[in-house]
A and B are shown apart, each in its own frame.
Chain A
Amino acid sequence: MTTQTATDDAPLLVAEGLGKNYGARIGCRDVSLEVFPGEVLAVVGESGSGKSTLLGLLSTELAAGAGRVSYRMRDGELRDLAGLGPAERRLLMRTDWGFVRQNPADGLRMAVSAGGNVGERLMAVGWRHYGNIREEATDWLGRVEIAADRIDDDPRAFSGGMRQRLQIARNLVTKPRLVFMDEPTGGLDVSVQARLLDLIRSLVAEMGLAVIIVTHDLAVARLLSHRMVVMRHGRVIETGLTDQVLDDPREPYTQLLVSSVLAA
């Protein structure tokens, strides 16, 4: 067995017994999961089922009440994220990770040009050559199908779909290994959604990204994900390969979820 297969077999992110309460209410409870390099994991469930809380815990944006999250660093070592210092954690978040938010205004700097938005991460990791930053930004705008002559426009002049694509470019420019996505197609009309999903799917395959995507839309999960996790009342009630879960749901709740969607 070569070293390459050894790393591919090892999980990138491991969550064990994760839990969080909001006062007396349960945000999520006893969630354990693993994400492997290059794998797309969908977290599905209805509103209020704890999906976004789980995403917050996995990305360390929320402090866990119980359990822990470990991440395999680029040196191959699996480390407990709670044990990282703030400097290390922030470096991880702006280099090795990406976070695509439902509302692009939360993930973009709306008063900064598209080029500046894409270039910010590069400058944060020490790029100091304007020409190179611009070239890289132009290249990435092309990859997310934004015309090069829009590079100096700010995102306020962009449509919803363009903003979302810009947000993706901004996150992928440092070639992360893991991207968190919170309802990335929410609020977009159906044709724009389809194009965006296509784009995400090709980028994920091309870059070998691992993705944890939260969605209530089973069609999105079907199109993008390899495996899925079904949540209800803050717990994981079913996991499995996406096709398997959607075509042959075991839990009554999952059956209800699947049957309530038209042609998922």
Chain B
Amino acid sequence: MTSHHTGEMPAIRYNFAYLDEQTKRMIRRAILKAIAIPGYQVPFAAREMPMPYGWGTGGVQVTAAVLGPHDVLKVIDQGADDTTNAVAIRGFFEKTAGVATTTATAEATIIQTRHRIPETPLGEEQILVYQVPIPEPLRFLEPRETETRQLHALEEYGLMHVKLYEDIARHGHIATTYAYPVEVAGRYVMDPSPIPKFDNPKMDDCPALQLFGAGREKRIYAIPPHTRVRSLDFEDHPFAVQRFAKPCALCAASGVYLDEVILDDRGGRMFVCSDTDYCAGRQAQGHRGEMAAPAAGQALDVMPGLDPGIHGVPPVLPAQGVDGRDKPGHDGVSDRVGGAGGMP
């Protein structure tokens, strides 16, 4: 009798990197078009992915379409390699593509990112894939999709400056700190996804290919290598990135983007690198910040010295508004309404 097989599930086999080849082909065509027209949002037939919208379905599809068996994949979420979104997506491709993964920026050939650009400069052989919640930079200024397309087609971007005007009128400076609009190759205005504006200058003349995938909105756009990317501003209120008063408390790096970490309920806090790989690398080289553990006998880890859960602490907005982060799984609407949001 063969009844002992009853109830066993058949083995499930996925195609390499989950998506079927025809779907990948469709996505690659959209990517090629996006590269040919820098900053232009190319519609594509986004598939349902085994994860909820808002958790990187667009980025995952782009990564799946460009991934080869010899690629080395790195996935970051808010700069960290060890947060839920990063771990889940890295695990997804380990399982469905069997590719090598890494946390080291320099070793990766493809880096999928949510809301950060790594501190280590990228090279020509690398691709940076962004997860995009809302691709349309004019969305909260002009609700009609037909009209925003027309505005892009005719290069009418006065509206974008109305938003920046409102920022200055209300706050005395341009208060947009993330998803800060850029002009790509002197033509299209683009939403760089919710990266802190600190990272905007890294997009300009970047040697790596930058791809942006929005799964729910079904759009792909791209910045080809060595493309001019300019952050919008006013002549008398030029674009400026966030500055931090102190260097990283763990690796003493300055000129990098820092996360605020609350240490206790008595106002104790520290600022540490948001890029965990960069921070760990500097500590390995012997750099010590004011709150780092002593160097002797320290085991090297991906994570900086403290409890690995530190990046999971709910962010608290510092007074100077340097925090460009939003909350995982809430990439939809509520956290993106800026000063001029919800206009008719």
Q: Is A bound to B?
A: yes
A46 contacts chain B at the CB level, 8 A cutoff: no
Whether A133 pairs with B165 at a CB distance below 8 angstroms is: yes
Complex Cα gap A109–B165 (Å): 14
Expressed in whole angstroms, the minimum distance between the Cβ of A89 and any Cβ of chain B is 10
Whether A129 pairs with B235 at a CB distance below 8 angstroms is: yes
Expressed in whole angstroms, the minimum distance between the Cβ of B91 and any Cβ of chain A is 43
- Residue interface bits B233-267, CB-to-A below 8 A is 1, else 0: 01111000000000000000000000000000000
Minimal Cβ-Cβ distance residue in A for B161: A123
Count of interface residues, chain B, beta-carbon cutoff 8 Å: 21
A188 contacts chain B at the CB level, 8 A cutoff: no
From known contacts A86-B150, A124-B156, A130-B168, infer whether A112 and B234 are also in contact, taking CB-CB under 8 Å: no
Complex Cα gap A187–B234 (Å): 39
Whether B342 pairs with A115 at a CB distance below 8 angstroms is: no
Whether A119 pairs with B344 at a CB distance below 8 angstroms is: no
Whether A110 pairs with B169 at a CB distance below 8 angstroms is: no
User: Quick one: which of A80-108 are within 8 Å of B by CB?
Assistant: 86-87, 90, 105
Minimal Cβ-Cβ distance residue in B for A86: B154
From known contacts A90-B154, A90-B156, A124-B158, infer whether A119 and B343 are also in contact, taking CB-CB under 8 Å: no
Expressed in whole angstroms, the minimum distance between the Cβ of A176 and any Cβ of chain B is 16
From known contacts A116-B162, A116-B166, A130-B236, infer whether A109 and B343 are also in contact, taking CB-CB under 8 Å: yes
Minimal Cβ-Cβ distance residue in B for A111: B343
- Residue interface bits B155-171, CB-to-A below 8 A is 1, else 0: 01011011001101110
A76 contacts chain B at the CB level, 8 A cutoff: no
A-B contact pairs, 28 of them (CB 8 A): A86-B150, A87-B154, A105-B344, A109-B162, A110-B343, A110-B344, A111-B341, A111-B343, A112-B166, A112-B340, A113-B169, A115-B165, A116-B165, A116-B169, A120-B158, A123-B161, A123-B165, A124-B158, A128-B161, A128-B234, A128-B235, A129-B234, A129-B236, A130-B234, A130-B235, A131-B236, A151-B169, A152-B170
Sample of 15 more A-B contacts, CB < 8 Å, known A120-B162, A125-B158: A86-B150, A86-B154, A90-B156, A105-B344, A111-B340, A112-B343, A113-B170, A115-B169, A116-B162, A123-B165, A124-B156, A124-B158, A130-B234, A130-B236, A152-B170
Interfacial residues, chain B to chain A (CB-CB below 8 A): 150, 154, 156, 158-159, 161-162, 165-166, 168-170, 234-237, 340-344
Q: Which 10 A-B pairs have the closest CB atoms?
A: A124-B158, A123-B161, A130-B234, A123-B158, A111-B343, A129-B235, A87-B154, A131-B236, A152-B169, A109-B343
Interfacial residues, chain A to chain B (CB-CB below 8 A): 86-87, 90, 105, 109-113, 115-116, 119-121, 123-125, 128-131, 133-134, 151-152
